Amino acid sequence: MEWPSFVKALLWGLLVFLQFHQHRGCFHEERIALLELKAFLKSNIIHADVLPSWMDDAKSDCCSWERVTCNSTNSHVINLSLYNLNHDPDYYEDYDYNYYGQDDENRWLLNVSMLVPLKELKSLNLSANSIGGCLPNEGFEKMSSLRNLRILDLGYNYFDNNSIPQSLGAVTSLETLILTQNKLQGYFPAQELIALRNLNKLDISRNYYNGFLPLQGFERLALLPKLEILDLCFNSFNYSIIPSLSGLASLKTLSLAGNDLGWFNTTTGFESLSRLENLETLDLSHTYLERSIIESLPAVKSLKNLNLEQNFIGGSFPIKGISAFENLEKLDLSYNILNGSLTIQGLESLSRLKKLETLDLRYNFFDKSIIESLSAVKSHKNLNLAWNHIGGSFPAKELSAFENLEKLDLSWNNFEGPLTIQGNQPN
């Protein structure tokens, strides 16, 4: 039996409709915007082959282009990963002043308006592109219509405090703002950012900030109720910044590493850290701290992870007051000048840290007596005593007392004689 021709027509139509839908791909206006963006990037980026898959060809679906992600339901562009378009292998190397100080001849200015047609954009990564700022009147204030933009990474560029962060206050949907390693300097204009009520993570590390305007300081950030992660590392802040941070009650992670906190060897201000009642991770590494400052730190009961690496903390271990951090899981005291064994009081105080699993004492001046002392602490899973001055025969007997140990590093010490291990034998 022949099917009536109208049924055939219907089926044919359905097939065409399905095919059309399957290959619908990205929106015309978003495709055009991306192609214009490519042309603009091409005129600024020195790499010969910028975004080769972004082809000006009607059959090419922009949702399948490199570094573009679309929403699989509605085909709007939601994610642009336009980092390091020069494919420079050195860009994300460890912080390197020399690299950073290199000539800026490749710097160029962004036209933020070009991104505005990508109405549903959620995440934009422009890191490591030698961007020196924005074209006049084409700054981030233009992004205020991008109501879904949550993540903006502008790190490893040459933004200075004329182009940023003032205009970023307009992007009120932001949850994550990364400005690491730029040329921001002078005073941090917190006032400009308090409109970012959804901000969860702010990273202004590796810039040249040294202060805060008395009335526009970090205390203003207390108005950001969701701010949990604040990264201020490797700037030039001194101890006077700390009281201004104490109102940021929602903070869970605070990094002050690489600042000049201990430079004036004063304990002033550190007590105000006690107000950070939700703080879980505190990074105070590379901050010139001496023992007296550590001893003045208030008990932050919520703290799980304390990093004191590379300071000038001397004398015996543990440090007075450390046992007040009763929820501590990880303590890093590597690269300090600690020595000597635990005193009875010290041992008592350390054994109060019942959750301490990881203790890093690498690169200090401990001798063999530290091992015996530490073996009284049962919670350790991970102990690092590499690069100390522990000599004599291998302390197999003492080590067998560490009940929970999973990982132990004793490399680069001065042991001699035969190696015997008396770990708990599996039976």
Ligand X SMILES: *[C@@H]1O[C@H](CO)[C@@H](O)[C@H](O)[C@H]1NC(C)=O
Q: Which residues within the stretch 9-28 sit at the binding site for ligand X (CB under 6 A)?
A: none
Q: How many CA atoms lie within 13 A of 199 on its CB side?
A: 28
Nearer to ligand X, 149 or 279 (CB): 149
Q: Does 321 bind ligand X (CB under 6 A)?
A: no
Q: Does 123 bind ligand X (CB under 6 A)?
A: yes
Judged by CB under 6 A, how many residues of this single chain contact ligand X? 40
Q: Does 79 bind ligand X (CB under 6 A)?
A: yes
Q: Does 379 bind ligand X (CB under 6 A)?
A: no
> In this chain, which of 42, 44, 60, 81 binds ligand X, going by CB under 6 A?
81
Cβ contacts of 157 within 8 Å, gap of 6 or more: 126, 127, 128, 129, 130, 131, 132, 181, 182
Cβ contacts of 114 within 8 Å, gap of 6 or more: 33, 36, 37, 40
Q: How far is the CB of 17 from ligand X (least distance, A)?
A: 20
* Alpha helices (runs of H) in 48-141, residue ranges in sequence order: 97-101
Q: In angstroms, rounded to a whole number, what is the distance separating the alpha carbons of residues 70 and 119?
A: 12
Taking CA atoms, 41 is separated from 54, 128, 164, in Å, by: 12, 13, 20
* Alpha helices (runs of H) in 286-358, residue ranges in sequence order: 291-296, 344-351
Nearer to ligand X, 157 or 379 (CB): 157
Give backbone dihedrals phi and psi of 358, rounded to 5 degrees, phi first.
-120, 120
> In this chain, which of 163, 167, 173, 238 binds ligand X, going by CB under 6 A?
238
Q: Does 75 bind ligand X (CB under 6 A)?
A: no
Q: In angstroms, rounded to a whole number, what is the distance separating the alpha carbons of residues 417 and 404?
A: 26
Q: Does 189 bind ligand X (CB under 6 A)?
A: yes
> In this chain, which of 161, 167, 244, 336 binds ligand X, going by CB under 6 A?
161
Tokens 């869970």: give the residue.
252
From the list 54-62, 122-130, 249-257, 277-285, the region that binds ligand X by CB under 6 A is: 122-130
Q: Which residues within the stretch 34-63 sit at the binding site for ligand X (CB under 6 A)?
A: 36
Site of interaction with ligand X (CB under 6 A):
36, 67, 69, 71, 73-74, 78-79, 81, 83, 111, 113-114, 123, 125, 127, 135, 138, 151, 153, 161, 176, 178, 185-187, 189, 210-211, 238, 240, 264-265, 290, 292, 314-315, 337, 339-340
